[in-house]
Structure 1
Amino acid sequence: MNDTVRAARRKAPPRTPTDLGPNATKDISVALTGVLADMFALYLKTKNFHWHLSGPHFRDYHLMLDEQGDQIFATTDALAERVRKVGGTTLRSIGHIARLQRLSDNEADYVPPEDMLAELADDNRQLIGFLRAAHAVCDAHNDVGSTSAIEVWIDEAERRAWFLFECTRSAA
């Protein structure tokens, strides 16, 4: 390979070689990048509530939200790397996240702890729906790497939603 070809490749957009094809790369990248934006939105909301929590169950809820935030954040790198592995590009800025996220932010000065937990449970259930939709896109293109990763993320989100739901139930 000559120097001109090498120089042209260095200046070309980052397109990881893949056998999935250009349509698969586009569809999967769009689906996963949307989920990635929602993961960042959910991460920040979880940390917001973790930081601003108060009340009689403070310690338990504070620790649970910290654990859930860590789990959500760990997913972000894996999601972005899946997009790159299939030949796409992904998020580049906070503004990009804001344009793509489907989960709503909460900037209220005060949110009661029970409302925090209920809102996060709802957000995790919405995220599960977004993950299932992304799974269908990846499955349609036979992207088994992404589908198997998404199955783990669905399970994690279901567990978070379950824990949050159980914490909002009143004693019988």
Structure 2
Amino acid sequence: MSPTSAEARRRSPLKTPSDLPTNAITDISAALTALLADVFALYVKTKNFHWHMSGPHFRDYHLLLDEQAEQIFDMTDEVAERARKIGGTTLRSIGQIARQQRIPDNDADYVTPEDMLSELREDNLHLVSILREVHEVCDEHNDVATASLIENWIDQSERRTWFLFETTRQSK
């Protein structure tokens, strides 16, 4: 005797209906969850450097990092909700972020402004490569909606990388 759809929903109350096969939902939501951990790690690091900025270019760098942190934070809800829209789940705790993040923290007592900007440039570049990997997973499963979102996030991350690069470039 097979369970009714109401009984199945009670056993899996978070199972959002999707036309993607189960393996696609599993693969894509896992990739999005790991991505979300990285986005949160980059957000916190960007805010850390924003809060601890010092030096002669304080105002410009402080404002740049605040703008970038806001853009990064705006990604978090979109990433998490995309995983839920396709029928998956996503992050549940700070501990899970710590276990899954691939962008390293920086807990140093002091980091020079130039090192902060350079580190964030490299982290944003790393995020671009992570986004491309997630895009490949989406392509493999023909999830064009998630791939489309990722393309915009790649563009945003490349722009942040560019601004950080230009900010740290030495004049001759």
Q: Check if 1:140 corresponds to 2:140.
A: yes
Q: Check if 1:57 corresponds to 2:52.
A: no
Gaps in structure 2 of 5+ consecutive residues? none
Note the 1:25-44 alignment, pairs <5 A. Answer: 25-44=25-44
Per the alignment, residue 47 of structure 2 pairs with 47
Note the 1:87-166 alignment, pairs <5 A. Answer: 87-166=87-166
Per-residue CA deviations over 1:80-133 (Å, capped at 9, x if unaligned) read: 001001110000000000010001000000000000000000000000000000
Per-residue CA deviations over 1:119-154 (Å, capped at 9, x if unaligned) read: 000000000000000000001101011000000000
In angstroms, what is the RMSD of aligned CA positions?
1.4
Runs of 4+ residues deviating >2 angstroms: 4-13
Q: Matched residues in 2 for 1:5 and 1:24: separation?
A: 21
Q: Percent identity?
A: 66
* One-letter amino acid of the counterpart of residue 158, structure 1: E
Count of matched residue positions in the alignment of Structure 1 and Structure 2: 169
Q: Matched residues in 2 for 1:106 and 1:14: separation?
A: 35
Q: Matched residues in 1 for 2:5 and 2:81: separation?
A: 27
Q: Matched residues in 2 for 1:87 and 1:66: separation?
A: 33
Q: Matched residues in 2 for 1:126 and 1:89: separation?
A: 24
Deviation at 1:6, TM superposition (A): 4.7
Gaps in structure 1 of 5+ consecutive residues? none
Query: What secondary structure is seen at the aligned counterpart in 2 of 1:54?
Result: coil
Q: Check if 1:79 corresponds to 2:79.
A: yes
C-alpha distance 48-86 of structure 1, shift in aligned 2 (>3 A) = same
Deviation at 1:11, TM superposition (A): 5.1
Contact 2:9 2:15 (8 Å CA) reproduced: no
